[in-house]
Amino acid sequence: MSGKKLWWSVTAGVVGVAVAGVAGFGVLVQQYYGDLTHGPAYAVEAPVPLLVPAEAEAGVDNAALAARLTELGADPALGTVHGRVTDTVTGETVWDLNSGSPLQPASSTKVLTAAAAILELGPDDVLTTEVVAGDQPGTVVIRAAGDVWLTTEQMDELAEQVGQAEQVLIDLSVWDGDPFMPGWDPVDVDAGYIAPLEPAMLYGARIGETEGDVPRSHTPALDVARALAERVGATDTGTGTAPADAQVLASTDSPPLIERIDEMMVWSDNVMAEAIGHEIAVHRGQPGSAAAATRTTLEVLREHGFDTTGVTLADNSGLSIDNLIPPRLLGDLLLDAAADTRLRHLLATLPVAGGSGTLTDRYGDLSGRGWVRAKTGTLTDTSALAGVVTAESGRVYSFALLSNGSDILSARAALDRFASAIRDS
């Protein structure tokens, strides 16, 4: 990457906080999902000028920054920590600590899922859920497509197109395999962190709410069938196969992929991550299974030149304790997003320190507030932070940090201090 310049674009939303001098603590994130809200809407202020090339500033002292990061990386609060910090203008590795050795990544795994999806599917990809005529009179079949964020409004629209029916079935054949992944804890369904992997859900299978970590349904696809049945007057629901050449009675599209990735990254939504992983597999002509999803995710990354050596990908969300990722790969993806255009959309989906998503309540008075954009990751004894930050010098750095064997709150604070030190350089 050393020969490349970094071009900032408002359409990509690439860390506009740093280039534009946005008021307050930097940038605020635009919300895509109508009633799928997690907080008040944010508005992004446009950089002026719209395109600013980041040149190699004469006053940058990467050696001094490396020394400071070495000190902070030795903080006992981080337990076992591996990581890398890279100058995105020159491609220079500023700081490295065992970045080629994998650790548990927790939800920073979603960086891989997002990158592979953008590369394979493109940001505008949509999923179309259809309702078709069944084999028997009065029967309609929902042909699930993998959309796990169907809404009540979409159910109303489908019902209006369908009219009346006596039976509503749902065809789940686009996905197959075990609805639970190795390394998952089934209690996480009731805790709101995951749902059985089925290719149609209302609001991510949430029960009684449209957002947040609330209990999830154990029968998400049947819930969709029941929701349509209530609207079309049907008294019978179940699963079934749609006839091959069935008449399409109604259809509805998902939001574009990049909006779904934004929901996945900003709020670390595990259900969305697994659905996007399945979408990659199906697009490549593979079974819609969890195993195919992880396999094809890594295949896509390798095909685009990323080294996946050392990666064990047990799921696409990072919820599994069996995942292992070297920080080097996370750093490579983020460096590419900052220094090239093919993954530029990825940066716009990263939470803003002190401003959005899983970083809303972090950074307090730290200098990184508003200037750090990063994907978080949290499991028992595991904390992760991977993203980009603009230094006081104007130089932009990518970083990837994985901490294992550490207390969650103490490690988070240490990671935030580490990223803020990059901002101070």
Query: Which residues are marked as active site?
Result: 107, 110, 268
C-alpha 236: how far from its chain's center?
Answer: 36
The CA distances from residue 155 to 159, 167, 227, 251, in Å, are 6, 15, 7, 10
C-alpha 46: how far from its chain's center?
Answer: 24
Angle at 332 between CA 267 and CA 259, to 5 degrees: 30
**Interatomic CA distance for residues 205 and 337, integer angstroms:** 32
Check if the beta carbon of residue 406 is closer than 8 Å to that of residue 79. yes
Q: Are strands 200-202 and 147-150 parallel, antiparallel or unpaired?
A: parallel
**Interatomic CA distance for residues 138 and 96, integer angstroms:** 64
Give the DSSP letter of residue 241.
Answer: P
Q: Concatenate the DSSP letters of all residues of 83-109 into one string.
A: EEEEETTT--EEEEESTTS-B--GGGG
The CA distances from residue 13 to 8, 118, 363, in Å, are 8, 15, 21
Structure tokens at 253: 């599209």
Angle at 69 between CA 64 and CA 75, to 5 degrees: 145
C-alpha 368: how far from its chain's center?
Answer: 22
Structure tokens at 85: 């910090």
How many Cα atoms are found within 13 Å in the side-chain-facing hemisphere of 259? 17
CA dihedral 85, 86, 92, 97 (to 10 degrees): 20
